[in-house]
Structure 1
Amino acid sequence: MLRKRIVAALVAVTLGVAGCSPASEPSSGEQVLRYAPAMFPVSLDTHKYAGEEAVQTAIQQIMEPLVRVDDGKIVPVLATAWENPDPNTWVFKLRSGVKFSDGTPFTAKDVVASYERHKKLDGPLVPLYSTVTSFAATDDQTVTVKTSKPLGTLLSSLTLLFIGPAAKINTDGFFNKPIGTGPFTVSSFKPDEKLELAANPTYWDGAPKLSKLEFVNIPEVAGRITGLENGEVDVLTQIPPDQVGSVKGSDAITYSTTPSWTYYFDWFNSNRKPFNDKRVRQAMWHALNLEGTVKDLFGDLASVAQAPLAQGVIGAPKLSPYTYDPAKAKQLLTEAGYPNGFTTSMQWPLEGGPNIRALAQAMISDWAKIGVTVKPLEKERAQWLEDFGKLNWDMNLQTNVTGTGDADYTLARLYVCTAKRNGYCNPALDKALLDARSSVDQAARPKLYQQAGKTIWDDAVGIFPADLASNAAVRSRVQGFVMPPSGRPLFAKVSVSGS
């Protein structure tokens, strides 16, 4: 009996240690953090997959851009200063004394080589540089960019251009184990499995406190949550609304939400009746109890929108939400010649956003109360994309993210007449948006976006139900973790303690 009790006690101790110490537990003094992202990078080639959030999240631990967005402002990273000697010229002064993790000095040639590789691969962000005529190293510490016409959005575009060493960036296999100036180096990378990073002890902004940073691929949400609960994972992000309860309320886990650059919108096809009439579009918006719907469906993961793009984006105006007023909605329909309502349809992509089907159903229910019958059209993504591009729809519901954190990325890309995205065309809006794009005065641009945003809002080009929040759950041993609005966390200043 005594022997059995001793064995049982030893098993209990062993299991207890295993519960807080996964198989690859670090040796004494090491700080290891394990991150299980919702999407795992298929590659580390940031120039080829420039628009992929998972790739950007991983690569920014290793390689760095000239500038980044922080708290709605452009801040220095590898560039310390910039100026416009004339409206068609940008001159960037680079940070001195910076070295790549292999000891190679960082110079302007590396910036140029990275830009040229990105341009050659013709990825999804290359159009952002369409007016750039030259991108040159004036000297080792200076990069000069020339444009055919003023390009005020260059700074925000450069937040997504990550810099590698000119002598190696074009060699075969470089992005299997890329070299950068960032806080971490690549120990090993297996696509769709694991990314293991080690601290860069010579990082110019101070060596990270973490010894190792591991990206672990756990495809199922339930599996990621279980990993967090038992200590195999330290950080989770993008937790679906219906799973938030699983990570809340634990003393060992801290759950938080932060604003993001992602939002919902429901466009009207202004080429089709009755949505060619502004009064009808406004009536559809006034008919929605968005405050109640957003609270019920998303809790603290969304807020009622205040602009045709998310708050926190550079240039995002803050406008007054449409009031929930079914009587006013009916009055506007009557004025527009639809006293008895009408029948229409709304399409959305299958699994096109958190609770998208429930959001669509709530909106359709509200519209029925003012006599508008809306046929729901949930479509497979391929079919939805085809119909969306051909304007083969009455209303279109989806999410969108302002990738660069700059209003131009959303507003001037989607709402100018030449975009032909939703049948709406307004020359005055075009002028405001293109003036904002052309202005190199970063203080003047938000004023133009305020004007443009108000026009889109007042004309009800679409309905903007909600800004979506980012969320994260971290174990209590993690300190310094911050979830930025881009949804791409940086781990340079994060630390861990204990097991």
Structure 2
Amino acid sequence: MRTRLLALLAAAAVALTGCTAVEPARSGALTAGLQEPGTLLPADVDDQAGRLVTGALWTPLADYDPASGRLTPRAAESITSPDRVHWTVRLRAGGRFHDGTAVTAKSYVDTWKAVAAENWAATPVLKESLCAKEISAPDPVTIRIDLDRPSGQVPALLSAPGLVPLPASVLASRDWNGFARHPVGNGPFRLENGWLPGTGGKLVRVTPAPGKANEVDLRVGDPVEQYDQVRDGSLDLATSVPGERHEAMHADFADRHTTWPLPEAGYLVFPVRTPRFADATVRHAFALAADREALVNGPLSEQVDPPKALLPPAEAPGERTGTCRPCSFDAAAAKSLLGQSGFAGPSTVYYDTGAGTWTGSLAAGLGGTLGVPVTAQPRPSDGPLDSPSTVDLKANTPSPAELLTGLAAASGYADPGFTQDLAAAESAASPEESGQLYRVAENQLLRDLPVVPLWTGHGHAVWSPRVHDVTATPFADVQLADISV
């Protein structure tokens, strides 16, 4: 009778105060908030939430750090080549998918054939970057890759999270949508009972680790609400911080928050073959007229940083020497350069779906600074552009070549010296030499300026006092396997 009375009194207290009872945390269990992933098919992931989940479900062949050129084998035991043309990948023995089947060299070869045949985010890694003449599996733990030219970028390309293996069952059925709801990987966690859109899913560690998060309850929700839930103690981890909580984060979570670079950046891309924008002086005027701080603090809501180089930090091969003059805002110099060029408005800035708000703000700022009418319009569905456009580029690999090549192609920029620098960087004998040559190519783009850097993306996370050892990487987001609870 007394026990029942106490329970009734506790329930009444909750009702009177309007509070929600916080469920006690279980040892080894973690609750984590995230936004809805676009897909859980790893070869087609291009968003932060998708990278978080697939990064827990799969183990890549290796991790590659473009700043140092360091390769850290993961599912691979080694990635080697005697001449940078013929490459050998040795897999760690005993790899298994979550369905119990073996992960073999053939798993990778067959998966890569499927990726190359589809129009997925990772497809260009194989068809445009790797460009192998032949990929084979001579035995269960060996992958052989033969190229048509020397390339030292193979380790960086093979570390792409989109090139992880898929089990034979989905490669046979080709039910990609069904697989994305019930993914089967080779990573430290398996997904129990599949993914429920709008709700989330439960990750269970394949091999329990003492002191670590062995179960992760992934909850899809609003970032503002999730931030407040972590602060109030009803959620352990929020993997995004909205702009309206950005300043409060430093006080609310003084030593319990982190920020990391994302493989994403925004650019203003010029149609350099159009006469009005063929003069580099015009392009430099537009570059100096872009108020990046206003974009960061305004429509981009503190989710990005002003750029310090053409390449974002997630792709940068080491530290850049010197400042990036075209990355700065200088209204007087911008107007002076435009006057010297003889450029007369008006101009348009085109944008893709979802970028209208921040592109509109950019266009208004450019027009006000330069003294010419500049308007924002949706990108036409076909035909060449007659004015610059904003582009949000997302990298699939940590190789700088991917973004440098993509930026040149987007603008129609072609220069023999730039092409030679990229080829020399790809075939360089060491990561240090390669990094220096990629910086040379980057400097040429900053000089000729077919594209203007506007912002670089970053991720945020905040966590409760019971959570420790939170780290994040550009291509796998928060490392759930490393978290201690």
Q: Report the count of equivalent residues.
A: 468
Partner of 2:374: 375
- Give TM-score, length-normalised by structure 2: 0.83
Partner of 1:455: 444
Cα distance in 2 between the residues matched to 1:106 and 1:207: 26
Cα distance in 1 between the residues matched to 2:311 and 2:56: 28
Cα distance in 2 between the residues matched to 1:302 and 1:59: 23
CA contact (8 A) 1:62 1:181 kept: yes
CA contact (8 A) 1:136 1:145 kept: yes
- One-letter code of the match for 1:37? L
- One-letter code of the match for 1:11? A
Q: 2:324 aligns with which of 296, 305, 321?
A: 321
Partner of 2:189: 184
Q: Against the structure 1 CA distance between its residues 240 and 312, is the aligned structure 2 distance closer, same or farther, given a 3 Å change threshold?
A: same
Cα distance in 1 between the residues matched to 2:170 and 2:353: 42
Q: Against the structure 1 CA distance between its residues 147 and 452, is the aligned structure 2 distance closer, same or farther, given a 3 Å change threshold?
A: same
- One-letter code of the match for 1:376? T
1:356-375 to structure 2, matched below 5 A, reads: 356-368=359-371, 373-375=372-374
The structural deviation recorded for 1:427 is: 2.0
Partner of 2:472: 483
Q: Give me the identity figure in percent.
A: 21
Matched, 1:471 2:447: no
Q: 1:118 aligns with which of 86, 103, 115?
A: 115
Deviation string 1:370-404 (CA, Å, 9 cap, x unpaired) is xxx1322243xxxx2626xx332412124322231
Q: Against the structure 1 CA distance between its residues 122 and 462, is the aligned structure 2 distance closer, same or farther, given a 3 Å change threshold?
A: closer
Return 166-175 or 128-137, whichever deviates more: 166-175
CA contact (8 A) 2:317 2:439 kept: yes
Partner of 1:406: 399
Cα distance in 2 between the residues matched to 1:155 and 1:208: 33
CA contact (8 A) 2:285 2:334 kept: yes
Q: 1:436 aligns with which of 411, 415, 425?
A: 425
The structural deviation recorded for 1:135 is: 1.8
The structural deviation recorded for 1:313 is: 0.9
Q: Secondary structure at the match of 1:113?
A: helix
CA contact (8 A) 2:65 2:398 kept: no
Q: Against the structure 1 CA distance between its residues 6 and 471, is the aligned structure 2 distance closer, same or farther, given a 3 Å change threshold?
A: closer
Deviation string 1:128-158 (CA, Å, 9 cap, x unpaired) is 2232122222333321111233344332332
Q: Secondary structure at the match of 2:244?
A: helix
Q: Which has the higher helix share?
A: 2
Cα distance in 2 between the residues matched to 1:150 and 1:91: 14
1:55-74 to structure 2, matched below 5 A, reads: 55-70=50-65, 72=67, 73-74=70-71
Cα distance in 1 between the residues matched to 2:207 and 2:19: 30
Deviation string 1:211-245 (CA, Å, 9 cap, x unpaired) is 21122222x44443444344443322333323424
Q: Secondary structure at the match of 1:61?
A: helix
CA contact (8 A) 2:359 2:376 kept: no
- One-letter code of the match for 1:78? A
CA contact (8 A) 1:470 1:487 kept: no
Deviation string 1:96-155 (CA, Å, 9 cap, x unpaired) is 344444555543233323323333445332232232122222333321111233344332
Cα distance in 2 between the residues matched to 1:378 and 1:487: 34
The structural deviation recorded for 1:491 is: 0.5
- One-letter code of the match for 2:373? V
Cα distance in 1 between the residues matched to 2:451 and 2:118: 34
Cα distance in 1 between the residues matched to 2:188 and 2:380: 39
The structural deviation recorded for 1:277 is: 0.6
Q: Against the structure 1 CA distance between its residues 170 and 226, is the aligned structure 2 distance closer, same or farther, given a 3 Å change threshold?
A: farther
Partner of 1:283: 285
The structural deviation recorded for 1:294 is: 4.7
Partner of 2:264: 262
Q: Against the structure 1 CA distance between its residues 374 and 238, is the aligned structure 2 distance closer, same or farther, given a 3 Å change threshold?
A: farther
CA contact (8 A) 2:291 2:362 kept: no
Partner of 2:147: 147
Q: Against the structure 1 CA distance between its residues 314 and 95, is the aligned structure 2 distance closer, same or farther, given a 3 Å change threshold?
A: farther
The structural deviation recorded for 1:90 is: 0.7
CA contact (8 A) 1:346 1:374 kept: no
- One-letter code of the match for 1:244? H
The structural deviation recorded for 1:483 is: 2.8
The structural deviation recorded for 1:184 is: 0.8
- One-letter code of the match for 2:375? P
CA contact (8 A) 1:183 1:200 kept: yes
Cα distance in 1 between the residues matched to 2:75 and 2:31: 27
Q: Against the structure 1 CA distance between its residues 132 and 299, is the aligned structure 2 distance closer, same or farther, given a 3 Å change threshold?
A: same
The structural deviation recorded for 1:344 is: 1.6
Deviation string 1:142-187 (CA, Å, 9 cap, x unpaired) is 2111123334433233222112444775356665544333111121
Give me the CA root mean square deviation. 3.6
Matched, 1:198 2:198: no
Q: Secondary structure at the match of 1:308?
A: coil
CA contact (8 A) 1:200 1:208 kept: no
The structural deviation recorded for 1:298 is: 6.4
- Give TM-score, length-normalised by structure 1: 0.81
Return 451-460 or 422-431, whichever deviates more: 422-431
Cα distance in 2 between the residues matched to 1:162 and 1:360: 40
What are the ranges of 5 or more consecutive residues in structure 2 without an aligned counterpart? none
